[in-house]
Amino acid sequence: MAPWLPAFLRRSSRCAGCHASGAAGHGAATPCPTRRSSRFAPSAPQSRPGGAMTTTTPVPLAVRPALLLGVPNRITLVRTVVAMVIAAIAFRTGQLSWLVIGYAAYWVGDIADGAVARYRDEESVAGAVFDIVCDRASSFLLAAAFMATFPATIGPLAIFLVQFGVLDTMLSLAFLLWPGTLSPNYFYKVDRPIWRWNWSKPAKAVNTAAVVISLIVAHHTGAHWLPYGVAIAALVVKVASTYRLLTILRGRRAAVPA
């Protein structure tokens, strides 16, 4: 194990189940052989030459290839294509109404795919990464259409794209450093402050919506300082979150799991 990892990242070679049963230790990413998890697909018996029956190794639901074609990922795909098509229409027409429809399709779809994944118990690491990528695809094209239609939005949207496209992407993918964490939604198990600032329900609601709503308000009221303030505030949150994450990874700060 790398010496720079903090203590909570260092996994014992023998978990509690192995210790109790006397079984040999196993790696952090390997399921304990002495206990079963509800997130593992059931084993299927197979026959060997000669008639002997064996059981295949269970595959974690988080990495089952079939989940790539599951309902949640289909919703993610559809909502991304719809949002990007509407963004292209907004490019063509230059109408604010199309931008509003595009963002609405993006946000509603983003809520729906996560809700369906949890309801159907089909959350997966691949689905989380796919969702993160599609969020950026939708946001970037919609932001580009916004800037092309209303040049006054270039400044605040440029700040937003830096924090969302760079810092927030790195933060969102950080869950991959902790095996067993299915998505950023469960980052509270690693560090509650970072989760609260970025993926709690209030934080997710304002992550992109706050900047877009402030742009619309500024368009109708002339308060062009408002989107700048909102975009800078979001950038400060991402910088603080990134700094905290890096200090945890370097062992300079202890994580605070829930």
Tens-digit pLDDT profile for residues 67-99: 667 889 999 999 999 999 999 999 999 898 999
Rounded Cα distance between 131 and 9, Å, is 26
What tokens does 193 get?
Answer: 């402050």
Q: Could you tell me the maximum CA-CA distance found in the chain, to the nearest angstrom?
A: 81
The answer, yes or no, to whether residue 207 has pLDDT greater than 60, is yes
The answer, yes or no, to whether residue 255 has pLDDT greater than 50, is yes
Tens-digit pLDDT profile for residues 108-138: 999 999 999 999 888 889 899 999 999 999 9
The answer, yes or no, to whether residue 205 has pLDDT greater than 50, is yes
Q: Which of 37-46, 122-131, 167-176 has the highest mean pLDDT?
A: 167-176
Q: Exposed, middle or buried, 221 (CB in 10 Å: 0-12/13-18/19+)?
A: exposed
Position 222 confidence tier, pLDDT thresholds 50, 70, 90? confident
Rounded Cα distance between 129 and 100, Å, is 26
Tens-digit pLDDT profile for residues 182-197: 999 999 999 999 999 9
